[in-house]
Amino acid sequence: MSAALPEVALQALEEAITFEREIPTGLRELKAPIVAINPEYRPTNVEALPRYGVKVVLTSGVGHFQMTEDSETFNHLLGESIKGFLGSKWTR
């Protein structure tokens, strides 16, 4: 993202803001498991997300690009999340 052309970045930001109100409806319609691996530095509504079927995992000491800032921890959490789906209807 940091290397994106300004017009690309601005379009992406506009789309994110424009469709933010559609997110709860979209989450309700998803039939697959959802995990949000979010950094603690930004507010995450840990009370509301589970109501939409989202499991929340918070990480510390990282920013927005946590998957590159601390890939070992992120990959571990992602792997654990995927293991949690094994044996569920999503892997059959």
State which H helix or E strand residue 55 sits in.
strand 54-59
Is residue 88 classed as helix, strand or coil in its secondary structure?
Answer: coil
**Token reading at 89:** 């209807």
**Spans of all domains in the chain:** 1-30, 31-91
Query: Going residue by residue through the chain (92 aa), what tens digit of pLDDT does each one get?
Result: 667 788 888 888 788 788 777 877 887 888 888 899 999 988 899 999 898 888 999 999 999 899 999 999 999 999 999 988 876 665 54
Does the pTM of the predicted model rise above 0.75? no
Region at 51 (left for phi over 0; alpha for psi -120 to 50; beta for the rest): alpha
Beta pairing partners, 59: 39
